[in-house]
Amino acid sequence: MAYTLELRGVSLRFGGVRALTEVSFGVNDGELFSIIGPNGAGKTSIVNCISGRYRPTEGQLFYRGRNITALNPNARPSLGIGRTFQNLALFHHMTVLDNIMVGRHHLLKNNFITGSLYWLTGARREELEHRRKVEEIIDFLDLQSVRKSTAGTLPYGLRKRVELARAMALEPQLILLDEPMAGMNFEEKEDMARYIVDLNEEFGMTVMMIEHDMGVVMDISHRVMVLDFGRKIAEGNPASVLADPHVKRAYLGEEDEVLVDPDDTPAPAESVA
């Protein structure tokens, strides 16, 4: 089976710290694939390897059959890989619209010399075309009311959404979402989950997502991989992953038999591992 994205035996070391140890997995075309794991398990390291910020110490990465292990980060969006960041990386003093337009940068044909001859070189037509794409994304993510607002003034949940919009503007075939719901309230999470499902189903984007919120992950993912201390401990559909004893141990501690329902507060003292 040919994966859209495949990692083969990827290890990553920072000096003596082993962030990742021989992690192998593949993401199918059109899939919504999630990686979960406790803090420091190496989830973001995987995203950074795929987007090129880190180069694996060992192992190889393949994107649509092509070895991209050594490819420069800035060459990867052109292949169709887009990402968002766990800690927001927006241009705070630019408008939402401009932030999203930045996502179109690698698709622009005009440069700053030809662009200055606005009407002659087709820069005008090009800008209109890109603006249209951006407006479609704004419509998709319901950002109309903040289109012209400065990104830095928006509430956190909205900024996360703007970042997703910018990643979508790249028109990636594979989008990497690093904790898209971190720090959101329930309603914002629910909205975001819907956008992610829609962009997977309606736009046909392959999604690889890192997320802490187990409920959301299990609800919307097709397949889930679990990391613990840089090692893969489980992979499969949400139900089988939930049932996996290794996963229970990693998340809940040794003694626990079942997932604790967070609503059943106050929790008995012994279940707090």
Nearest approach in angstroms of CB 127 to another protein is: 14
CB distance 150 to 92 below 8 Å = yes
x/- string (CB under 8 A) for another protein, residues 115-154?
A: -----------------x--xx-xxx-x-xx-x-------
CB distance 200 to 207 below 8 Å = yes
Q: Of residues 163-202, which lie at the interface with another protein (CB under 8 A)?
A: 186-187, 190, 194, 198, 201-202
AA letter at 181 = M
Instruction: Please identify, using beta-carbon distances, which residue of 133 and 231 lies nearer to another protein.
Output: 133
Nearest approach in angstroms of CB 139 to another protein is: 6
Instruction: Please identify, using beta-carbon distances, which residue of 29 and 198 lies nearer to another protein.
Output: 198
Nearest approach in angstroms of CB 31 to another protein is: 16
Q: Of residues 199-218, which lie at the interface with another protein (CB under 8 A)?
A: 201-202
Cα-based angle 153, 158, 159 (whole degrees, multiple of 5):
65
Nearest approach in angstroms of CB 169 to another protein is: 14
CB distance 19 to 42 below 8 Å = yes
DSSP 117: S
Nearest approach in angstroms of CB 13 to another protein is: 43
Q: Which residues pair with 231 in a beta bridge?
A: 228
Instruction: Please identify, using beta-carbon distances, which residue of 136 and 219 lies nearer to another protein.
Output: 136
Q: Which helix (DSSP H) or strand (DSSP E) does residue 44 occupy?
A: helix 43-51
Instruction: Please identify, using beta-carbon distances, which residue of 188 and 244 lies nearer to another protein.
Output: 188
Instruction: Please identify, using beta-carbon distances, which residue of 199 and 250 lies nearer to another protein.
Output: 199
Nearest approach in angstroms of CB 160 to another protein is: 18
Instruction: Please identify, using beta-carbon distances, which residue of 178 and 213 lies nearer to another protein.
Output: 213
CB distance 167 to 175 below 8 Å = yes
Q: Per rule CB under 8 A, is residue 261 in the interface with another protein?
A: no
Q: Which helix (DSSP H) or strand (DSSP E) does residue 218 occupy?
A: helix 214-220
CB distance 89 to 40 below 8 Å = no
Nearest approach in angstroms of CB 201 to another protein is: 6
Instruction: Please identify, using beta-carbon distances, which residue of 109 and 147 lies nearer to another protein.
Output: 147
Buried b (16+ CB within 10 A) or exposed e, 24-38: ebbbbeebbbbbbbe
Q: Tell me how many residues contact another protein (CB under 8 A).
A: 17
- Pure H helices in 91-209: 96-102, 123-140, 156-169, 186-201
State the helix-helix crossing angle for 186-201 and 123-140, rounded to 10 degrees. 120
Place of tokens 């040919």: 2
Nearest approach in angstroms of CB 254 to another protein is: 32
Instruction: Please identify, using beta-carbon distances, which residue of 190 and 273 lies nearer to another protein.
Output: 190
The pairing of strands 231-236 and 32-36 is unpaired
Residues forming contacts to another protein in the complex (CB under 8 A) are 132, 135-136, 138-140, 142, 144-145, 147, 186-187, 190, 194, 198, 201-202
